[in-house]
Each structure stands twice: as C-alpha cells, then as structure tokens.
Amino acid sequence: MFTRTKKRSLTVGAVLLASAVAFTLAGCSGGSSSGSSTGGSADGVKIGLITKTDSNPYFVKLREAAQAQATKDGATLIALAGAFDGDNEGQVAAIENLVSQGVKGILITPNSSSGILTAIKSARDNGVVVIALDTATDPEDAVDATYATDNKAAGVTQGKWVKATLGSTAPALVMLDGTPGGTVDTFRHDGFLEGFGIAEGSSEIVGQENTNGDQTKAQTAMENLLQRAPGVNALYTINEPAAAGAYEAIKAAGKTAQVTIGSIDGSCTGVANVKSGIIGATVMQFPAKMAEQGVDAVVKYASDGTKPSGFNDTGSQLITDKPVSGLDSKDTTWGADNCWG
C-alpha cells in the first residue's frame, strides 16, 4: 500500500508507457513469446507489468525490481501504468495492449479489485498467465495467483505493538482508515482490531475517519477528531502518509507525548519518521519481493508450463526503536537498510 492521492488526467483511460525495457539476451529474439502458448523456452519471453501509477515511489521500487529480475532471467519486461491512482480504464487498455504484444504473463497491481476482471479473463483465455501484485482481485481467483503482503497479519502486528506500548493504560483509540471498501484497507483495519484485542464498535474506539491514505486529509481528519476526543492516546493509521499528517495535528495540539502512533508501509520516509519519533512503529512490506517472485513465476510458466496459484505472502516486518516483549521487531537501522522509496 502507498500514498493514494489521485492525480487526475484529462485523458481518461490513457496508458502511460512507464518503461519498455528489452533485456533479451543475444540470440534470444523470436523466442516463445506468443501469448497463446502454454509453455516452452524461457529465452526471450515477454512479461507485462501494470502498476497503478508510474510515479509513486512504491511502484517505482516494484518496477525496478521487476526489471532487475527480468534481466537476471533473460526476459523482456514491458512496463505500463494507469494515468492516475484509480485509472481502471487505463489498466484495461494496458492489458489489451500487452496481450496484443504477445506477452507470456501479466503482473498487475489493480486499481480496482473488480473493475478489470473482464479484461483479465480475456487475457487468461488467450493463454496469458495473470498475477496480481500487492492488491488482490475480488474474487481472488480471478487471477492465476497473487503475490502480496498478508495485510491482515500486518495489521495484527501493528495492533499488538500499540496495545503493548499502552501497557495498563485504558485505551482511547482513534482510527484513520483508507478508502471504504478497499480490500487492503479492510484487511489492515480488521487485523489491527484483532491485534489490539477489541471488536468493531467497541467503546475504546473514540473516533474514526476515512483519509484515502492521503497526508493532508489525515491531518484535517485528526484535527477534527482531537476536538471531539481530546483524550485519545492510541492511533491506528492506514499508511505512513496518514500517520505523518495526523502527527502534524497532534503536534499542533501539544499532545505528542500523549498519543502512540502505529502504521504500515515500510517506506524510507516512514522508517525515518519512526527514527525521529513521529511514528512509534511501522510494519514494513516488501514490494521488491512481489515483483521478483512474480517475474520468476512467469518465466517458469514459459519454461515448463507450470502455472502459479493461490495467495503467496511476501512477508512483513515490525520496525521500531521501542520494542515490546513477545513481539519480533527490527530497529530503524535495519529498516533503513531494507526500506523502499
């Protein structure tokens, strides 16, 4: 997950060519790159990558890792992106574009979990293996496989750390959520409550707002919530930009010592914010692993016809300089060495 600020384009449905990188090995041109094949040589295989946008640091890291793995495997990577976060039509056009280019597999971070299913089905009907990265489709089996963070588990870790840090203090929790109905958003929210040890609607939740993961919206939401719930002492944030926005509101209210903030993402900015005390802890996810494993899966399919399947957890790691007993964590030095963005 990532910053969700939308950047509208006048050309709805346009596809941005983020990069088209030919890493074919010498003598590999003309290999088994037809999308209608069900297996064959891995040499010269074409792999499509479609991200939500081409500018978000999270997707930049994901694309760079996919390119590096394609180079290692001797494949050709064709990277496309939506024109803005939420550009479903652009991603549909990108799928059709890649199928026409004869890709063997498509890796996609769906802007809409359900809005691209028809295009995905058409690609799969043409023999293209389709893998979701980072964000699952709905239903999940609309693609051959998913490589992503187990966001429910990441939320559980986040909730456990915040609760343990509060200790015996009675919780007064505020939740800054993402986008209503988003699968990642829902998994993280539910996981946090499970880890924190309370149920939806519990009296310990003293405030809740949607922020779309946007820093400015989160700051405004927190300013309003502090008016209604001045005694808040625990804060859930959907991502690190939301945590940074909320912190500005909390600082302006003179309550930084009062509120424990937990977040998720693992960006280099987020880890730096943990180190400086803006965020108490974050749960790092690993976009590079998603891309590397996705590329490898397509190459294997091209080599021997083996299709990937199911949900494949690429892991998460709690990052904090305030460890708690019984919860595995790494410090911000480790976090800075393994962050993205």
> What fold characterizes domain 151-284+318-337?
Rossmann fold (3.40.50)
The more confident residue out of 14 and 148 is: 148
The more confident residue out of 22 and 212 is: 212
Q: Are 262 and 161 in contact (CB under 8 A)?
A: yes
Element (H, E) at 41: none
User: By 3-state DSSP, what share of the chain in percent is helix, strand and coil, each rounded to 5?
Assistant: 40, 20, 40
The more confident residue out of 49 and 13 is: 49
| pLDDT at residue 4 greater than cutoff 90 | no
Average pLDDT over residues 161-167: 98
The share of the chain scoring above pLDDT 70, in percent, equals 87
∠ Cα 57 319 269 (to 5°): 30
| pLDDT at residue 29 greater than cutoff 50 | no
**What crossing angle do the helices spanning 57-73 and 287-304 adopt, rounded to 10°?**
30
Q: What are the start and end residues of each CATH 3.40.50.2300 domain in the chain?
A: 46-149+286-308, 151-284+318-337
**Phi, psi angles (nearest 5°) of residue 108:** -140, 135
Average pLDDT over residues 40-48: 76
Instruction: Tell me what pLDDT residue 33 has.
Output: 33
Among 280, 294, 23, 330, CA closest to 133: 294
Instruction: Tell me what pLDDT residue 42 has.
Output: 54
Average pLDDT over residues 71-81: 96
In the CATH scheme, what is the code of domain 46-149+286-308? 3.40.50.2300
Instruction: Tell me what pLDDT residue 44 has.
Output: 81
The tens digit of pLDDT for each residue in 298-320 reads 999 999 999 999 999 999 999 99
Report residue 112's pLDDT band, with 50, 70 and 90 as the boundaries: confident
| pLDDT at residue 27 greater than cutoff 50 | no
| pLDDT at residue 116 greater than cutoff 60 | yes
Among 240, 246, 233, 242, CA closest to 272: 240
Contacts of 139 (CB under 8 A, 6+ apart): none
| pLDDT at residue 22 greater than cutoff 90 | no
Instruction: Tell me what pLDDT residue 201 has.
Output: 97
Report residue 32's pLDDT band, with 50, 70 and 90 as the boundaries: very low
| pLDDT at residue 36 greater than cutoff 90 | no
| pLDDT at residue 57 greater than cutoff 90 | no
DSSP string spanning 190-207? HHHHHHHT--TT-TTEEE
| pLDDT at residue 269 greater than cutoff 90 | yes
pTM of this prediction? 0.83
Report residue 26's pLDDT band, with 50, 70 and 90 as the boundaries: very low
The tens digit of pLDDT for each residue in 176-198 reads 999 887 778 899 999 999 999 99
Q: Are 147 and 293 in contact (CB under 8 A)?
A: yes
